[in-house]
């Protein structure tokens, strides 16, 4: 079937709107979206009304602190990096939809979308508080629903909400890494359960150890903290441990806890029947993930708190390391796609 033109799509929409079933479906879908937005706005209004412009936002001159000064360059840099990292979700979606069986495609697409929405709400409510607020060496204990947050995160000069958006993109990435290993192993409810656990508790709490202001790995090597004789704290290169290792280990644990997925068969009884439609999604996902090369270079610099920080040498090393690593990863993934397609075509 050829691609439909815009006029064909409009004509099809008009035909469907004349059917009572489609009208009920559209009304139900619209009602669900409006209810979700209403619940979100109500939660913000109750727990943090300043986000909607209610309450006093201005600070008097005599109470101005370092955390009240927003650096526009660092903030824009952080936002650009966050937008690039969010592009990874498109790559994840296409890659997973390409590698899964046809019967799993809708579940994969829905799971990737719902996972992002669920992660955003959890990270807003308590995930960010667990991970980046002050507390103890194991967990943060402030800023739930972003309540009482300063204008900037610590003394970085990055606007607090920009920093939250940037970290939300990585929380979503960690959860989506897990979803790729669970295709065909769990239903939609199972996806929601482990997404809730990863986004709300596992990733934020472990992430606090390395990236939190008082995490025991972040303060390691200093006097009075964990392993003071070491003389240096834990270094994570652009999420290779906090994001990818956590997501990978959770995926490994969940996949080992369930039975293996059986090989797929196409509609005509052969696995090769799906190659023509699946391989394009796979290659699109692999190619789209190349934005990590740029996004991770940006992100490495953001980890040093903007473009005006004092760790230029470390940041450039991180950026170069991530560039080379992801270029190697793309070559390896492309070869896997090629071998996968060749093997499917040779099956009876």
Most confident of 26-35, 208-217, 265-274, 338-347: 208-217
144: DSSP letter: G
Per-residue confidence at 20, pLDDT binned at 50, 70, 90? confident
Average pLDDT of the residues in 99-111: 82
Average pLDDT of the residues in 298-305: 50
Q: Nearest-5° angle of CA 127, CA 221, CA 305? A: 50
Task: Please tell me the distance from the alpha carbon of residue 88 to that of residue 299, in angstroms, as a whole number.
Answer: 13
- For the segment 133-144, what is each residue's pLDDT rounded down to a tens digit? 999 999 999 999
Are 114 and 192 contacting, i.e. CB atoms less than 8 angstroms apart? yes
Per-residue confidence at 2, pLDDT binned at 50, 70, 90? low
Task: Please tell me the distance from the alpha carbon of residue 180 to that of residue 333, in angstroms, as a whole number.
Answer: 14
Least confident of 89-93, 169-173, 244-248, 270-274: 270-274
Are 265 and 71 contacting, i.e. CB atoms less than 8 angstroms apart? no
Are 159 and 240 contacting, i.e. CB atoms less than 8 angstroms apart? no
Are 92 and 112 contacting, i.e. CB atoms less than 8 angstroms apart? yes
Are 124 and 39 contacting, i.e. CB atoms less than 8 angstroms apart? no
Distance set, CA 345 to CA 108, 278, 337, 338, 339 (Å) = 24, 12, 12, 11, 10
Instruction: Compute the half-sphere exposure of residue 174: CA atoms within 13 Å on the CB side of its CA.
Output: 33
What pLDDT was estimated at residue 313?
Answer: 52
Report the chain's mean pLDDT, rounded to a whole number: 76
User: Where do the H-state alpha helices sit in 100-158?
Assistant: 105-122, 128-132
22 is written with which tokens? Answer: 């489609």
* CATH (residue range 72-346): 1.10.3430.10
DSSP for 190-227?
Answer: HHHHHHHHIIIIIHHHHHHHHHSTT-TTTSTTSTTSSS
**Secondary structure of 274-317 in the HEC alphabet?**
HHHHHHHHHHHHHHHCCHHHHHHHHHHHHHCCCCCCCCHHHHHH
What pLDDT was estimated at residue 216?
Answer: 93
Token pair 């992660």: residue: 119
Task: Please tell me the distance from the alpha carbon of residue 87 to that of residue 20, in angstroms, as a whole number.
Answer: 37
* 83 exposure class (CB count in 10 Å sphere: 0-12, 13-18, 19+): middle
Task: Please tell me the distance from the alpha carbon of residue 135 to that of residue 103, in angstroms, as a whole number.
Answer: 46
User: How many C-beta atoms surround the C-beta of residue 231 within 10 A?
Assistant: 9
What pLDDT was estimated at residue 60?
Answer: 46
CA 315 to chain centre: 22
Q: Does residue 61 register a pLDDT over 50?
A: no
């Amino acid at each position: 079937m050829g691609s439909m033109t815009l006029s064909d799509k409009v004509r099809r929409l008009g035909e469907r709107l004349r059917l009572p079933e489609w009208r009920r479906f559209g009304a139900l879908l619209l009602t669900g979206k409006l209810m979700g937005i209403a619940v979100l706005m109500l939660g913000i209004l109750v727990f943090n009304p300043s986000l909607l412009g209610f309450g006093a936002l201005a600070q008097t001159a005599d109470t101005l602190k370092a955390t009240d000064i927003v650096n526009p360059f660092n903030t824009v840099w952080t936002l650009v990096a966050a937008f690039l990292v969010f592009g990874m979700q498109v790559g994840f979606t296409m890659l997973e939809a390409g590698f899964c069986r046809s019967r799993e495609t809708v579940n994969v697409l829905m799971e990737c979308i719902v996972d992002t929405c669920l992660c955003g709400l959890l990270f807003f409510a308590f995930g960010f508080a667990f991970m980046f607020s002050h507390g103890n060496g194991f967990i943060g204990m402030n800023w739930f629903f972003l309540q009482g947050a300063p204008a900037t995160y610590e003394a970085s000069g990055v606007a607090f909400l920009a920093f939250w958006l940037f970290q939300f993109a990585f929380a979503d990435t960690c959860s989506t890494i897990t979803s790729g290993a669970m295709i065909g192993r769990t239903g939609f409810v199972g996806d929601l359960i482990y997404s809730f656990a990863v986004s709300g508790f596992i990733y934020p709490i472990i992430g606090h150890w390395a990236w939190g202001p008082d995490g025991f790995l972040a303060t390691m090597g200093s006097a009075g903290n964990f392993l003071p004789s070491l003389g240096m704290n834990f270094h994570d290169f652009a999420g290779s441990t906090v994001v990818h290792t956590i997501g990978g280990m959770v995926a490994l644990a969940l996949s080992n806890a369930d039975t293996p997925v059986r090989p797929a068969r196409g509609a005509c009884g052969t696995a090769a029947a799906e190659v023509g439609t699946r391989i394009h999604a796979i290659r699109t996902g692999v190619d789209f993930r190349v934005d990590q090369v740029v996004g991770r270079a940006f992100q490495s610099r953001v980890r040093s708190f903007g473009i005006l920080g004092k760790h230029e040498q470390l940041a450039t090393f991180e950026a170069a390391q991530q560039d080379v690593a992801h270029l190697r990863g793309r070559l390896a993934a492309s070869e896997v796609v090629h071998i996968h397609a060749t093997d499917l075509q040779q099956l009876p």
